[in-house]
Amino acid sequence: MMKTIRFCLIACLVGIGVPVLCAQENKDSSQSKDKSADKTSQPAAEDRSYSGMYSFRKDGEFLQLTVEDGGAVTGFISRYGDGESDKGAFLDQFFKTGKIDGSKLTFTTEIVHGVAFEFRGTAERGEGKNPGDEAYFVLRGTLTEKVSDASKKVTSHSSPVVFKLFPQEAGPAPVVRQ
């Protein structure tokens, strides 16, 4: 770039009519800079920043989300059981599938004690002011809970949800067991 500017200045001082050539060279170099900037600023880097621990439906429950290469998403939900056999027990449900494309996020969990979850929504900036603050990112969308009974009949219940990223230094609230 500096060589181009020096060449243009020398050419202008000498009186050679090359300002048009210099302008074209500057335009070409700025376009190549734009192209190289596009290659370095990848949306995958932004996608990865959504990785972390988020609140789930009740206090003490949480969702762990990890964004991997190629938009793959892994993680799990830690929640309290709601059924007769697992009432109050802490259950972990790992993701069966998960994907993020830009800010569009979907995942489905494995079935644990007859319950599976499906999330469809977005990962986006929340109300937290700085990285590391609570709710710096939020997962906003629809959570569908699918429950199968003993006769394999599946009932689904969908509800709008917003899961907030926990602060970086903190984790979920400690669980008091009695």
Taking a C-beta distance cutoff of 8 angstroms, is the pair 164, 54 a contact? yes
- The pLDDT of residue 150: 82
Are 143 and 92 part of one and the same domain? yes
What DSSP assignment string belongs to 108-125? EEPPBTTEEEEEEEEEEE
Are 21 and 109 part of one and the same domain? no
Are 8 and 72 part of one and the same domain? no
Are 104 and 133 part of one and the same domain? yes
Could you give the number of structural domains in the chain?
A: 2
- Strand ranges (E), the chain: 52-55, 62-67, 73-80, 90-101, 104-109, 115-125, 137-148, 154-164
Between CA 115 and CA 145 the distance in angstroms is: 7
Nearest 5°: the CA angle 96, 133, 59 is 55
Are 30 and 100 part of one and the same domain? no
- The pLDDT of residue 177: 55
Query: Helix (H, G, I), strand (E, B), or coil: what is residue 171?
Result: coil
Are 158 and 76 part of one and the same domain? yes
Q: How many CB atoms lie within 10 A of CB 123?
A: 26
Domain of 31 in residue numbering reads as 2-41
- The pLDDT of residue 152: 86
Are 136 and 63 part of one and the same domain? yes
- Residue 169 within a domain: no
Are 148 and 91 part of one and the same domain? yes
Are 33 and 102 part of one and the same domain? no
Beta bridge partners of 141: 121, 161
Are 12 and 66 part of one and the same domain? no
State the distance between the two ends of the chain, measured CA to CA, in whole angstroms. Answer: 70
Residue-by-residue pLDDT tens, the chain, 178 positions: 444 444 443 444 444 444 444 444 444 444 444 444 443 334 445 556 899 999 999 999 999 999 999 999 999 999 998 877 788 889 999 999 999 999 999 999 999 999 999 999 999 999 999 988 999 999 999 999 999 888 889 999 999 999 999 998 655 555 555 5
* CATH at residue 108: 2.40.128.30
Q: Is the dihedral of CA 146, 149, 154, 156 positive or negative?
A: negative
- Residue 52 within a domain: yes
